């Protein structure tokens, strides 16, 4: 259906620290095993990242984390050690797969916010990468970029305008917008997707923005697709609330029923905490508690359940049955990819595994290697 975001192969990264820089994004774009590239969540004016507050760590569930354990990239487990960690935003994606693959399933906890780079800076990076295609030096296939964004509903309208203008100016750009309504780490700003009123407000802004730009694009396919990134839900009433909001958000565009084209499910699980062997929080955070969002292998069963439940509920209604789902949460191998596809994911994305294994993880998932 035209309303779905076309990702072929159906494998990509989700918004994360390892899709922050030009180098990160180009490596993801150049991989023959990714069907799209998701840019780290950005704001119109950027985010004030602070390494001493916004952190992440790799950990193995059920193990003790020593006090003063390394954080960030240094926390990646190896064949001889598996520990913890925070890190700077602009980190490299190149982990040694041979040393880390024997560490077993690995999860992450993060207290990160958003990217320090602005949306305009990311549009410039995308233009630079796609511009090199004209020289015949890079991937010949047009690959979609999903710009993960956030802000107020009014700001999201401005964001869509910037992305639509960029797509209108260059027919080689395949752009989509993912509105992140699910980050659990921003103090005094709970994820809007848990609140039906806020969710409806964002959906209305998305619909108005798409209507404004309808007809300006060269072809319907060149218009930026729009999705929303959702948090984990744990009760059927929460899923039904989202589906009801999507049903009510009817599109005014020909051939489309809903104002959004896809869902990304699921973001990190908030209210998660790691204590070290001194019984102190492993990470810092904006709230000062060290509580953050959990992802990776420990999230996988909940993520599968969210995707399966949404697919079942969306398929019941003509207004929502054509929505695609990007399934995210704990996928690090082909078996995990197959499970996500089985429960209804149109495409599968990963973040923690990308941070651990680097871009080679997509070949690992595709070919079923260790």
DSSP designation for 68: T
pTM for the model:
0.91
Q: Tell me which DSSP letter residue 253 carries.
A: S
Query: Pairing between strand 107-110 and 56-59?
Result: antiparallel
Q: What is the per-residue pLDDT for 135?
A: 56
> What is the CATH classification number for the domain harbouring 26?
3.20.20.70
For residue 140, tell me if it sits in a domain: yes
The parent domain of residue 199 ranges over 11-50+112-282+291-367
Match 């953050």 to its residue by tokens: 292
For residue 312, is it within any domain?
yes
d(CA 262, CA 144): 14
Position 44 in a domain:
yes
E strand or H helix that includes residue 269: strand 269-272
pLDDT at 1: 36
248 CB-contact burial (10 Å; exposed 0-12 / middle 13-18 / buried 19+):
middle
296 within some domain: yes
Alpha carbon of residue 33 to chain centroid: 17
Euclidean distance between CA atoms 289 and 292, whole angstroms: 9
Q: What are the φ and ψ backbone dihedral angles of 307, each rounded to 5 degrees?
A: -65, -45
pLDDT at 82: 38
Number of domains in the chain: 1
Whole-number pLDDT of residue 346? 98
- Residue 276, phi then psi, degrees to nearest 5: -85, -175
State the pLDDT at residue 206.
96
Rounded to whole angstroms, the Cα distance separating 170 from 5 reads 19
**What pLDDT does 86 receive?**
36
Select from 109, 129, 137 the least CA-distant residue to 298.
109
Report the alpha-carbon distance of residue 299 to residue 329 in Å, rounded. Answer: 6
On whether residue 326 sits in a domain, the answer given is yes
Q: Each residue's pLDDT tens digit in the chain (370 positions)? A: 344 689 999 999 999 999 999 999 999 999 999 999 999 999 999 999 999 999 999 999 988 899 999 999 999 987 434 333 333 343 333 334 433 444 567 899 999 999 999 999 999 999 999 887 555 555 556 899 999 999 999 999 999 999 999 988 887 789 999 999 999 999 999 999 999 999 999 999 999 998 888 766 666 667 899 999 999 999 999 999 999 999 999 887 777 789 999 999 999 999 999 999 999 999 999 999 999 999 999 999 999 999 999 999 999 999 999 999 999 999 999 999 999 999 999 999 999 999 999 999 999 999 997 6
Q: How far apart are CA 310 and CA 229, in angstroms?
A: 13
319 in a domain, yes or no? yes
Q: Tell me how far apart the alpha carbons of residues 44 and 46 are, in angstroms, rounded to a whole number.
A: 6
Is 75 part of any domain? no
């Amino acid at each position: 259906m035209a309303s779905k975001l076309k990702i072929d192969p159906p494998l990509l990264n989700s918004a994360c620290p390892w899709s922050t820089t030009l180098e990160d994004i180009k490596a993801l774009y150049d991989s023959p095993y990714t069907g799209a590239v998701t840019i780290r969540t950005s704001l119109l004016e950027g985010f004030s990242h602070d390494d001493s507050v916004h952190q992440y760590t790799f950990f193995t569930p059920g193990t003790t984390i020593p006090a003063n354990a390394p954080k960030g990239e240094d926390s990646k487990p190896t064949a001889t050690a598996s520990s913890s960690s925070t890190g700077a935003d602009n980190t490299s994606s190149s982990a040694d797969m041979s040393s880390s693959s024997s560490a077993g399933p690995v999860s992450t906890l993060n207290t990160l916010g958003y990217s320090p780079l602005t949306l305009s800076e990311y549009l410039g990076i995308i233009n630079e990468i796609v511009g090199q295609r004209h020289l015949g030096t890079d991937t010949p296939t047009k690959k979609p970029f999903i710009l993960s964004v956030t802000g107020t509903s009014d700001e999201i309208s401005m964001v869509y305008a910037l992305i639509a203008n960029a797509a209108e100016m260059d027919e080689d750009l395949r752009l989509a917008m993912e509105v992140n309504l699910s980050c659990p780490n921003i103090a005094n700003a709970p994820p809007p997707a848990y609140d039906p009123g806020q969710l409806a407000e964002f959906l209305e802004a998305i619909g108005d923005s798409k209507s404004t730009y309808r007809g300006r694009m060269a072809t319907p396919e060149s218009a930026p697709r729009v999705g929303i990134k959702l948090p984990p839900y744990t009760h059927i009433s929460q899923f039904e609330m989202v589906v009801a909001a999507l049903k009510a958000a009817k599109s005014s565009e020909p051939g489309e029923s809903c104002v959004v084209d896809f869902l990304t499910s699921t973001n990190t699980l908030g209210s998660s905490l790691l204590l070290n062997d001194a019984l102190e929080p492993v990470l810092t955070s904006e709230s000062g508690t060290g509580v953050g969002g959990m992802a990776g292998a420990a999230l996988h069963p909940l993520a599968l359940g969210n995707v399966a439940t949404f697919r079942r509920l969306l398929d019941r209604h003509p207004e929502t049955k054509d929505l695609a789902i990007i399934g995210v949460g704990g996928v690090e191998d082909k078996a995990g990819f197959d499970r996500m596809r089985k429960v209804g994911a149109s495409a599968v994305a990963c973040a923690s595994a990308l941070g651990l294994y680097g871009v080679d993880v997509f070949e690992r998932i595709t070919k079923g290697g260790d």
